[in-house]
Amino acid sequence: MSISATDFRQRIGQLGDLPTLPHVVQKLTSMIGRPNVSAEDIGSLIEKDQVLAAKVLRLANSPFYGFPSRIASVPHAVVVLGLNVVKGLTLCATAYDIMKDAGMVQLWRHSLGVAITSQILGKHLDMKNPEEVFVAGLLHDIGKVILYVKWPEVGTKIRAANPTGDRPMFEVEQELYEVSHADVGGWLANAWHLPTALREPILFHHQPSAAQEAPLQTAVVHVADILVKGMACGNPGDDLIPPLSRQAWELVGLTDETLAGCIAAAADEFLAIHDYL
């Protein structure tokens, strides 16, 4: 039996066991962008979750950050790395767990690539909060975890409708179910109470011109997604490079030179971080 579009939307609405964001991470996410949060607040929050604290320390001690002496406590990590980096690391560790548990390590690699590239583009654009687009990039395809793992028959049907892989996945999903992985991700972002600056890039990463409140963040994640697909780093489930929105490309404003620099920086950073999760 196949699922109709209406059933499908209902199932999304009723889904009981969503991938959950641990309580600590939920609190941290709501703190993103809040300027008055102290290093002690963040440090003591993360330390309440020992597994997470251990992961943050492992990342903080990776050669990427190159600290000469060992960072042994989360508050110390917050002081030397900065609040925003530690928040990013925490979310990174969580997204990794969700995708690894779902058997989607290739999607994780793709997502990490998009996160890193988004952050580099964010810095290039002088964004106030480049770590925000890092997190948005990390979570942009999170809807796939539900579409392709929670409901394997959905994934099978979508793949059968696109045997040669020459159409973008979101288009085929939309056609069969009237819902794409981006919609599912946006819905998940709602359920997780993520801020608009994260929700819109997740929801609109395949149609960036639809973003209302976070058009720049959405454009950045859209462009990063396409660059990372072009770099063949990880695999989000198809080989096709989705169409680039000219409007988003112009918002991001890369020249040939800055583009090459951003890609090189992203590749370096990807290699340095990805073994430490």
Q: Which residues bind Fe ion (CB under 5 A)?
A: 141, 225, 236
User: Minimum CB separation from Fe ion for residue 141, in Å?
Assistant: 4
User: Minimum CB separation from Fe ion for residue 7, in Å?
Assistant: 23
Compare residues 208 and 236 and give the one whose CB is closer to Fe ion.
236
Compare residues 25 and 112 and give the one whose CB is closer to Fe ion.
112
Please give the angle made by the CA atoms of 186, 130 and 224, to the nearest 5 degrees.
60
* φ, ψ at 62 (rounded to 5°): -70, 155
Residues 6+ apart with CB under 8 A from 5: 176, 177, 178, 179
Compare residues 141 and 269 and give the one whose CB is closer to Fe ion.
141
User: Minimum CB separation from Fe ion for residue 150, in Å?
Assistant: 17
DSSP assignment letter at 62:
S
Please give the angle made by the CA atoms of 160, 237 and 234, to the nearest 5 degrees.
160
Compare residues 147 and 197 and give the one whose CB is closer to Fe ion.
147
User: Minimum CB separation from Fe ion for residue 34, in Å?
Assistant: 28
Cβ atoms of 27 and 44 within 8 Å: the answer is no
Cβ atoms of 253 and 223 within 8 Å: the answer is no
